[in-house]
Structure 1
Amino acid sequence: MKIIFTCRFVPLNWLRSSSQSPRRYFSSKELPKFYATPIFYVNSVPHIGHLYTTVYADALHRFTRLCFPNNDVTTTIFSTGTDEHGLKIQKSAQSKNINLNEYCDQISSKFRQLFNDAETSYTHFIRTTDDQHKKVVQNLWKILMDKGFIYKSKYCGYYSVNDETFVPDNLITTNSNGEKISIESGHKLEWYEEENYVFRLSQLQERIIDWIDNHLIMKPENYHQSLKADIRNIKNFKDLSISRSKTRLQWGIEVPGDDTQLIYVWFDALVNYLTVTGYPNKQPVIWPPCHVIGKDIIKFHCIYWPAFLLAAELPLPERIYCHSHWLYDRQKMSKSLGNVVDPFECIEQFTADGIRYFLLKEGTPHSDSNFNLDAVKTCLNAELADTFGNLLNRCTSEKLNPKQSYPFVSLDEIQEYLPESLDTINFIETLSNECFESYLDGNFHIGITNVMQCLRSINGLFNLIQPWKFVQKHPHNDNDNDLNQKRLKCLLFLSLESIRISAILLNPIVPNISKSIFEKLNISQEFCQWKFAKINNSKQQNDNRISSKKLIIFSKLT
């Protein structure tokens, strides 16, 4: 059977001119130097949602360092930690008959262990029970008090213990039992009436709306549009109660100068971002933070937090990434249903890189994602074990690559001897820019999909060209033998380049796998940066040796 190859001719001078680093298209100002997850409430042990938020922020942090390697640990911040005050914590500890400090220590340590096990690159792990944080909270309180933004008043309304917030009338409904329920969270509400300290949120309404409309970059866009619509449905921002009476809450930071009141847990928690920078002992050098939040806490980070910063005359966040939630078999996770996913078990079963890959590949920030154990296995087997792993095995096999070399081939040679690969080359040459845009928008799933498409395309070339037939030399036909060896060399070069480039682009997603590939291909660290995610952009001029040690990228799950 005669096979006719068709391809779209791409001038090689265009391919070469397109090999630009992200700096050609994007300013370094678009990559923040301070990434912050919300600090996680210790009323219970961590679940898969906590892991997703932190891995998502970690991928953004690693992506920044990869693009601009001078942003090392001394010039970038990635903070996470635990929120340990409030009524829910108090009730959780009491229900278990455990001392409050001991309870917080136990749960906080589980969060830290999880983030370590998941290979996250956090630079700061903060706890709101830290003495330094308490000082920062009380200091900011005094600043806002001195500026006239805090006053004492009788405050009443329906309060959600679960959400640790008063709920406005327009977000309250009544269930079949006649109980008041929060429309946003579905949690039961209780009526509270007491004297509190109140923050003058109403005075900052216009400035907050202007920031949301004209200055905030929020990804994905659907949440930004929803936020804009929501603030227009609120006719007037109501002044915010920012303290609680000790008659019903004993666990928190005391209001300066008033030992009958504790500071509202959300004021306390949001200030952690300032604590991380060393404020108020020094003005924040890396500021403002880029926030990574779940869709259920938009109000706190996009209305309350900027209001506190405006009142303190501090710069507001410029970029916020918001993500949706995870379902289990299309159902909301809950303890009563017994379908809460244990992230520690996931890491043990699928490895840290494996669960990172699945969460970032299947997690769609703009809409809820579905978690299913079979889906995890199918995804990891098909993409990491088969597509990625199979390609590496093919081009490093003793049969096709007996010299265990990383050959050097020019693009001119590829055009001449491997013309059927030109569409694939064209795709690879634009891959880093496509991934850059996707990652910058927080859409890791799009970037990962493009990388996998590249690897599948190379695997397709193997199936099409069938290089294993080149190993058997034709007697008395040196011309054919020479041509086959040149085609094989071109294919090996293109395959190894696609693996090297993919390892760079997937480094924020699967850092351990990427590191093992660089070691296998004998790629020095200086050429593992984002700007080298282009064909023949590693300044290699001669064939290189690769490690003879067999590498299994990902062991297939059974």
Structure 2
Amino acid sequence: MFKLSAFQDPLQNWLRDNPHAISPEPFYQRVLCWLGEDLPDLSISRERSRLQWGIPVPSDSTQTIYVWVDALVNYLSVLGYPETHGEWWPAAHHVVGKDILKFHAVYWPALLMAAGLSPPERIFVHSHWTVHGQKMSKSLGNVIDPFACNERYTVDGFRYFLLRQGVPERDCDYYDEKVVKVVNSELADSLGGLLNRSTAPGINPSNTYPCFSETCFPKVVDYREAEALGRAAAEDYEFVVSVASLPLQVASYFEDFQIYKALECIALCVRQTNGFFQRHKPWKLDRKDPADKLWLDTIIHVTLECLRVYGTLLQPVVPHTADKLLSRLAVEPEERKISSLMFLPRYNGKPCPFEGRQLGPDTGILFHKLEKSSQHQIEKKRL
């Protein structure tokens, strides 16, 4: 037996001193509730007659080590415990399903404390995917084949959907039609369409990252005075503020494992950028007119700056699509770090390293639209 009851107070103190040790918040509260009740001591072995496989208890051949003790200790042994684990431990971040929360948030920290080691730094918990409201089950025949989904939707498309729609705090429902709708709307149409429109030869015949005009888009204190000073509207300033705040916002959500919120913010800003482009109709401006040319170049510059931000922030989620987008904008690999991402520097009176740069080669559609019939093919393959 492992004397789990002796660690009730140390576990409670650990969590109260580290309120972000378990997230999202509902799971943190669930563990606190468990620790508020009596903790029974834990049997670390099972009868070998009932469990033929596993590690035998050294002093008793009739007993096998309880699989969860064996499995949890693997986190340390893989790091070279007891000689070299200190290089990595306790800076460990576990990502676990809600159904194994007690093992990772109660048993495992107690075992570590008993061994004189610190608990892991963070435990991120996620819920489950259901299919048309039902739990996935082999007996029901509704298990989703991830290999078929990757083949049909591409790895980027399927990963984007799962992270965009997956809410860690609650179970999420999966159906193929939703994948097609989300991916087509946000990756193919909204993001891909914006790149295509802003780099089209008719709009940007020189295929360059054009200059930004402070005359057309002056920095103002009161947005209501904007149109009297330049050609940008008050809503353009509001949209620029939204995009400027995006990198810190997204980084914070990524850090807190709230990836769906990060993608929601990005998708909103992409829609705003499409609205900005549509609102000012650059295709109607006369490039031969000096005033129109300044404004046309500024519209394209702002749009490309937005796309550069979105491509940079989307790298962890859709790496292939983001690379294709950033390469089209001629953003070099060393210029793609989220930590040093600065949006629209010319608006803030600073030089823009991309201004005047020749864009990268046109490699075609950013993300091909998914066929609506694809869900039937996957359903057929699954059955």
TM-score by length of 2: 0.87
Residues 316-357 of structure 1, C-alpha deviation per residue, up to 9 Å, x if partnerless? 122211111111112221122211111111111111111110
What is residue 356 of structure 2 aligned with on the other side? 543
Distance 2:278 2:296 in 1: 13
What is residue 469 of structure 1 aligned with on the other side? 284
What is residue 259 of structure 1 aligned with on the other side? 61
**What is the deviation of 1:471?**
4.7
Q: Does 1:459 align with 2:262?
A: no
Cα 1:247–1:411 shift into 2, 3 Å:
farther
1:15-54 maps to which residues of 2 (within 5 A)?
none
Distance 1:287 1:412 in 2: 55
Q: Does 1:339 align with 2:147?
A: no
1:26-105 maps to which residues of 2 (within 5 A)?
none
Q: Does 1:366 align with 2:181?
A: no
**What is the deviation of 1:461?**
1.5
**What is the deviation of 1:501?**
0.4
**Structure 1: runs of 5+ lacking an equivalent:** 1-197, 474-480
What is residue 337 of structure 2 aligned with on the other side? 529
One-letter amino acid of the counterpart of residue 16, structure 2: D
Q: Does 1:277 align with 2:79?
A: yes
Distance 1:291 1:384 in 2: 30
2:315 to 507, 513, 522: 507
What is residue 493 of structure 1 aligned with on the other side? 301
One-letter amino acid of the counterpart of residue 531, structure 1: S
Residues 443-473 of structure 1, C-alpha deviation per residue, up to 9 Å, x if partnerless? 1111111111111111111211111112575
Contact 1:361/1:448 (8 A) holds in 2: yes
What is residue 258 of structure 2 aligned with on the other side? 443
TM-score by length of 1: 0.61
Q: Does 1:214 align with 2:17?
A: yes
Cα 1:551–1:277 shift into 2, 3 Å:
farther
**What is the deviation of 1:539?**
4.7
Contact 1:408/1:540 (8 A) holds in 2: no
Structure 1 stretches of 4+ with a deviation exceeding 6 A read none
SS at 1:314's partner residue?
A: coil
SS at 1:338's partner residue?
A: coil
**What is the deviation of 1:245?**
2.1
What is residue 51 of structure 2 aligned with on the other side? 249
Cα 1:541–1:364 shift into 2, 3 Å:
closer
**Structure 2: runs of 5+ lacking an equivalent:** 219-228, 346-350, 372-383
What is residue 241 of structure 2 aligned with on the other side? 426
What is residue 301 of structure 1 aligned with on the other side? 104
**What is the deviation of 1:368?**
1.0
What is residue 31 of structure 2 aligned with on the other side? 227
| Equivalent pairs, count | 352
Cα 1:541–1:503 shift into 2, 3 Å:
closer
RMSD: 1.8
Distance 2:39 2:215 in 1: 65
SS at 2:296's partner residue?
A: helix
Distance 2:66 2:268 in 1: 49
What is residue 365 of structure 2 aligned with on the other side? 552
Distance 1:276 1:410 in 2: 56
Q: Does 1:321 align with 2:142?
A: no
Higher strand share: 1
What is residue 191 of structure 2 aligned with on the other side? 388
Contact 1:216/1:317 (8 A) holds in 2: no
Distance 1:471 1:381 in 2: 33
1:136-285 maps to which residues of 2 (within 5 A)?
198-217=1-20, 218-232=22-36, 234=37, 236-285=38-87
Residues 505-551 of structure 1, C-alpha deviation per residue, up to 9 Å, x if partnerless? 11111111111122211111221011333314585064001123233
